[in-house]
Amino acid sequence: MKKVNDFRWKKGMLVSEFVENLGNVGFQSTEMYKAADVIVKMKKEGAKIFMTFTSNMVTSGLRGFFAQLIELGLVDVIVTTAGAIEEDIMKAKGEEFIIGKFKPDDIELYEKGVNRVGNLFIKNESYMNFEGTIGRMLEDLYCKKPRWTVSEMNSEFGKNLEDKNSILYQASKNNVPIFCPGITDGSIGFHLFMLQQKNPDFVVDVVKDFSNILFSSSHDDKKGLISLGGSISKHHAILACLLNGGLDYAVYLTTAHSSSGSMSGATTEEAKSWGKVKDDSDVSTVIGDVTFTFPLIMVSVLEKLLKEGLLKQGE
């Protein structure tokens, strides 16, 4: 059994050494180290790696880090929500989000045309600019063909963006599918509706995309999941893997707790009762804000994989 060791900083300490030392501290620090270890194993074992995240993480500055992980070959399949697609396009087109406060005067923000996500502020003008952008992008899609799956649509969006920090751009460039089963749950859904009203033969086929996510792995593949937050994106990935024999590796990072019975709070251990995660799989559930737990874990992972020559060369 491991013993608790006192943490001490040393000059020139690498992030991987820092996270490794946290493994002997206890509580969530131990889980963070375990999560890093599981992700390294996923990559070394050649697992098909699914990554899921919710839109608020793309609102934050993690967006560019997600794009970099795709570029470095750490991700094979992405599942996310509509807001993530929207805000990735917004940022790729130059929209800027502002860091504010968690407890501002929200009525005053509304009067000024500012929308709040936690302590991040987004101006109405940014959404207005997005309306024009996405309208043109969807018209272009329809001109090419009337029927699309969401992942095909996302790949096409990525081809039309010129931003190395864009998730859509890097995914399209590196042939990583982005699934978004709840694509209508946002402004983009309204534009899809409007385009179909004008062109009844225009169809976005989410059922076909469910087939695509199922066939993105097989029973023979080793499968790993890095799930940030919860919701529809997390569930689609683990459901697809369940139907292909279950996950061999799983890392969940969330602020939710299992006491609510929610998908966001469901732990890797709970997933074993469904067969979503195999009985003997390597797993970790980290409770904490992803904006700092994930970068610490992943920079530690990247340092180790770089040392072993297991990263693709980025731009």
Mean pLDDT of 163-167: 98
**Residue 274 maps to which CATH number?**
3.40.910.10
Residue 24 lies in a domain: no
**Token digits of residue 87:** 């805000």
Nearest Cα residue to 6 out of 29, 32, 38, 35: 29
Answer whether residue 313 shows pLDDT above 80: no
Residue 287 lies in a domain: yes
Q: 258, 270 in Cβ contact below 8 A?
A: yes
% of the chain exceeding 90 in pLDDT: 89
d(CA 295, CA 308): 20
Confidence of residue 38 (pLDDT cuts 50, 70, 90): very high
Answer whether residue 282 shows pLDDT above 90: yes
Mean pLDDT of 154-183: 98
pLDDT value for 210: 95
Mean pLDDT of 150-174: 98
Residue 147 lies in a domain: yes
Q: Is 112 helix (H, G, I), strand (E, B) or coil?
A: coil
What does pLDDT average to over the chain?
Answer: 95
Q: Is 143 helix (H, G, I), strand (E, B) or coil?
A: helix
Cα-flanking dihedrals φ and ψ of residue 112, to 5°? -90, 0
Residues near 83 by Cβ (< 8 Å), separated by ≥ 6? Answer: 54, 55, 56, 58, 59, 185, 186
Confidence of residue 259 (pLDDT cuts 50, 70, 90): confident
Answer whether residue 182 shows pLDDT above 60: yes
d(CA 31, CA 34): 5
pLDDT value for 266: 82
More confident residue, 70 or 268: 70
Catalytically active residues, by annotation: 276
Range of the domain at 211: 31-307
Residue 16 lies in a domain: no
d(CA 312, CA 305): 10
Q: 84, 54 in Cβ contact below 8 A?
A: yes
Confidence of residue 265 (pLDDT cuts 50, 70, 90): confident
Total domain count, the chain: 1
Residue 1 lies in a domain: no
pLDDT value for 315: 56
Confidence of residue 96 (pLDDT cuts 50, 70, 90): very high
Residue 101 lies in a domain: yes
Mean pLDDT of 184-191: 96
Residue 247 lies in a domain: yes
pLDDT value for 35: 97
Residue 257 lies in a domain: yes
% of the chain exceeding 70 in pLDDT: 99
